[in-house]
Structure formats: structure tokens, C-alpha cells
Amino acid sequence: MSTKHDIVKRTLSRALFGKDAHVQSTRALEGLGWENAGAQPKGIPHSIFQLLNHMIYWQHWTIQWLDGKKPKLPKHASMSWPGDVGPKNQKTWQQTTKAFLTGQKELFQRCQKLDSFNKSGKWSCSDIMQIIGSHNSYHLGQIVLIRRMLDSWPPPSGGDTW
């Protein structure tokens, strides 16, 4: 029998990694070359590389918050979009994707250790994890759309979630 903590943690895992709700984050990035990661189709405000760095920024902020630190919110949303439009080479792209996926794992590990309902300020662990899960889900959808526009979808393992 699952406890309410087990149910919350399972739900947060699905939101964070994409199981059931949307394409898994690893698949959204799979097989994407560094050149396409920096491409910006007409009318699209951010490249995939920029989206990924933005998600890394907020994952890092969330990890600090979960660790009991008091990370400051940026004064303006534009300050949470670090980096260049595109990676300089394949190595930079691989390092960036690794940083994103590692951040996801770190978030989940912290979620496993913390009381889902214990509040720190106005948020509980489950609140902040739901926020970052929704945030990443939103931007992963943008990544898939950009990949479709670049004729770089589906990834080698397929694009459907089932």
C-alpha cells in the first residue's frame, strides 16, 4: 500500500522525467546535433540550447533551495536565460545535455530524502518539484516543436511516449 508521500514522489518523478505525461527528457534530446541545438527557426525566440540552459538555471536554483540555501530570484526573467544562442561544438552540447540530465537526477534524489509536505517559506518540497516539473515539461514541448521545425524529429528511438 502506497503512502501519500510515495504517491507524491511517484507523481513528481513522472513530471520531472516525462514518463506518461510527455516524451521523456532523454528522448527529447536524443540524437540532436550541436548545430541544430543552436538553430532558431523564424519566429522562435529561443534555440534549443538556450531553452536547455534556461532549464539548467532553474534546476540549479531549485537544488539550492532544496538544500536549504536561500537562492535569490532574478530581478527579471531575462536573467534566467544564460549563455549563447548555440553551443560552440559537439563537446559543449554534450556537456550541456549532461548537466541538464544530471540536474534532473539530483532533484529527484533530494525529493526522495525530503518530507514532501514540509514547508520552507511559502513552498513545500512537493510544491517546488511540481513547479520545476511543469516548467521543464513546458520547455521540453518547445524543444520537440523546434526539432519538428528543423526536420530533426523523431529521435532515433522514436518520438511517441508509448
Q: pLDDT of 118-150, one tens digit each?
A: 766 677 777 888 889 889 989 999 999 999 999
Domain count, the chain: 1
Kindly list the distances between the CA atom of residue 13 and the CA atoms of 9, 24, 78, 95, 126, in Å, as whole numbers in the listed order: 6, 11, 28, 23, 11
Q: Provide the domain limits for residue 55.
A: 4-149
The answer to the question of residue 162 being in a domain is: no
The answer to the question of residue 158 being in a domain is: no
pLDDT for residue 162 is more than 70? no
Q: Give me the CATH number covering residue 74.
A: 1.20.120.450
Q: Measure the CA–CA gap between 132 and 146, rounded to whole angstroms.
A: 21
The answer to the question of residue 159 being in a domain is: no
What counts of helices (H) and strands (E) characterise the chain? 6, 2
Write down the pLDDT at residue 1: 66
pLDDT for residue 96 is more than 80? yes
Q: Measure the CA–CA gap between 52 and 68, rounded to whole angstroms.
A: 25
To which residue does cell 521523456 refer?
Answer: 24
Q: For 10-35, what is each residue's pLDDT tens digit?
A: 777 777 777 766 788 888 999 999 99
pLDDT for residue 7 is more than 80? no
To which residue does cell 540550447 refer?
Answer: 49
C-alpha cell at 56: 539548467
Q: Measure the CA–CA gap between 146 and 86, rounded to whole angstroms.
A: 14
